[in-house]
Amino acid sequence: MDEVRRRRALGLVAAAGLLLGALLLGACVGVTSLAPLRVLATLADRLPGVHLGGSLRGVDEQILLQLRLPRVLLAALVGGVLAIAGAAYQGVFRNPLADPYLLGAAAGAGLGATVVIAYLPVTRVGPVGIVPLAAFIGALSGVALAYGLASVADRSGSGGATLLLAGVAVASFLAAGQTMVQQSHSDELREIYSWILGQLGSAGWTDLALALPYAVVAVVVLLLAGRALDVLAVGDDEAQALGVSPQRVRLVVLVAASLGTAAAVAVSGLIGFVGLVVPHVVRRLVGGSYRIVLPVCLLGGGAFLVLADVVARTVVAPGELPIGVVTAFVGAPFFAALLRLGDGHV
């Protein structure tokens, strides 16, 4: 037991260290490199009562504080939320292929974003961009539709299978709608397409502020649900016998995970792979208990996306690669190697 506990503690510390390292790297690397010590000094200077020499000045300071920092923190938030939501989805459905987009969150967000890009002339409502807003509403509507469809179709409560199928149906339906709108508005194609591929390049503090409240609620609920997911992992009947209502756990976890996913998608577009693969990697390293998988996913997913974003903006600098391309292009071989090392067990 001590061995397990030590391994979990190690996993948590390692993930936190990785995230901090990734954040520092992300803050320093870019079109022009900023010296890590000066970056830290600049950040420390923002604390009350601290005044250090050697902080950045002028354009460098503006770039760090107004552009790079929000971008790096948003990447960490989005990556962390997608990974923890992915782990939660996999737990709820007891299915290794589940990811945060399974129930139509991505397709709904895509449809919402595409419709406003295609049909609405305004781009903002007050300080809030209309595309994130539409994506957020679309994502939640997609999941709600899948959930509603499943509960109508499945009065007997046969577990997650019906919901999963309903999610597939809703996602296909919404994706078809999205494609239809997109095809009839070829002028806005690039705008729509660049949103779908995911972007952090235009992230500012407002995007972070927009996503943070929902993300925090989602993360707190999911972290608290770790034990319930562990119980659910043994099966619905067994969970029931242990005094846990599978339906209730499923509902609470799915609502929280979908809320987080919707917030992430709204500010960053559709970034694939993170929510699917990070949980599997984490499970291999710290074991299968959701009490440890969920927090490590939060930290590790954040680190992964921050690093992916560093790759996205340095490989073809000063150009940018779409972040979704990087997560899959870098993540897929990494995951394949991990599968190979672990004899193919998921």
Partner 1 sequence: MQPGPFLWECPVLSTSLRPVHRTGSARPIPPGFRPVRTASLLAIGAALLLAACGGPGGGASSTVTSGTTGGSSAGTTSPVATPSVPTSPVSTVIAVHQFPVTVHASNGTVTLSGAPHRIVSLSPSLTEILYAVGAGGQVVAVDSNSNYPAGVPTTKLSGFQPNVEAIAGYHPDLVVASNDTNGLVSGLKALSVPILLLPAANTLADSYQQETTLGAATGHAAAAQQVVSTTQRRIAAAIASVGTEAKGLSVYHELDNTYYSVTSSTFIGGLYRMFGLANIADSAAKAASGYPQLSAEYVVRSAPGLIVLADGKCCGQSAATVAKRPAFSGVPAVTSGRVVVIDDDIASRWGPRIADFAEAIAAVLKRG
- List of residues 6+ apart from 41 with CB closer than 8 A: 52, 53, 54, 55, 56
DSSP 225: T
Answer yes or no whether residue 193 interacts with partner 1 by CB under 8 A: yes
Residues 81 to 120 in contact with partner 1, rule: CB under 8 A = 110, 118-119
Could you tell me which stretch among 2-10, 16-24, 92-100, 194-202 binds partner 1 (CB under 8 A)? 194-202
Judged by CB under 8 A, the residue of 95, 191, 216, 330 near partner 1 is 191
- Dihedrals φ, ψ of 124, to 5°? -140, 150
Beta bridge mates, 128 = 125
Asked whether 59 and 31 are in contact (CB, 8 A), the reply is: no
Q: What is the DSSP string of 177-195?
A: HHHHHHHT-GGGHHHHHHH
Judged by CB under 8 A, the residue of 62, 158, 240, 247 near partner 1 is 62
Answer yes or no whether residue 330 interacts with partner 1 by CB under 8 A: no
Q: How far is the CB of 22 from partner 1 (least distance, A)?
A: 18
First and final CA of the chain: distance in angstroms? 23
Could you tell me which stretch among 144-152, 277-285, 289-297, 318-326 binds partner 1 (CB under 8 A)? 318-326
- Between the alpha carbon of residue 231 and those of residues 105, 147, 180, 334, the distances in Å are 26, 22, 43, 30
Whether the link from the prior residue into 318 is cis, omega within 30° of 0, is yes
With respect to partner 1, which residue has the nearer C-beta, 156 or 183?
A: 183
Answer yes or no whether residue 319 interacts with partner 1 by CB under 8 A: yes
Query: Distance between CA 242 and CA 257 in Å, rounded?
Result: 24
With respect to partner 1, which residue has the nearer C-beta, 12 or 65?
A: 65
Judged by CB under 8 A, the residue of 12, 175, 221, 339 near partner 1 is 175
Answer yes or no whether residue 179 interacts with partner 1 by CB under 8 A: yes
- List of residues 6+ apart from 131 with CB closer than 8 A: 113, 116, 117, 123, 195
Q: How far is the CB of 253 from partner 1 (least distance, A)?
A: 29
Here the tokens at position 345 are 């067990």
Q: How far is the CB of 108 from partner 1 (least distance, A)?
A: 14
- Dihedrals φ, ψ of 42, to 5°? -60, -45
Answer yes or no whether residue 123 interacts with partner 1 by CB under 8 A: yes
With contacts defined by CB under 8 A, how many residues of the chain interact with partner 1?
51
Could you tell me which stretch among 7-15, 80-88, 293-301, 315-323 binds partner 1 (CB under 8 A)? 315-323
Answer yes or no whether residue 329 interacts with partner 1 by CB under 8 A: no
Q: How far is the CB of 270 from partner 1 (least distance, A)?
A: 10
Answer yes or no whether residue 194 interacts with partner 1 by CB under 8 A: yes
Answer yes or no whether residue 57 interacts with partner 1 by CB under 8 A: no
Q: How far is the CB of 307 from partner 1 (least distance, A)?
A: 17
Rg (CA), the chain: 21
Answer yes or no whether residue 125 interacts with partner 1 by CB under 8 A: no
Q: What is the DSSP string of 138-163?
A: HHHHHHHHHHHHHHHH-SS--THHHH
What does the binding site for partner 1 look like in residue numbers (CB under 8 A)?
30-32, 58-59, 62-63, 66-68, 70, 110, 118-119, 121-124, 172, 175-176, 178-180, 182-183, 185-196, 199, 201-202, 204-205, 313, 316-322
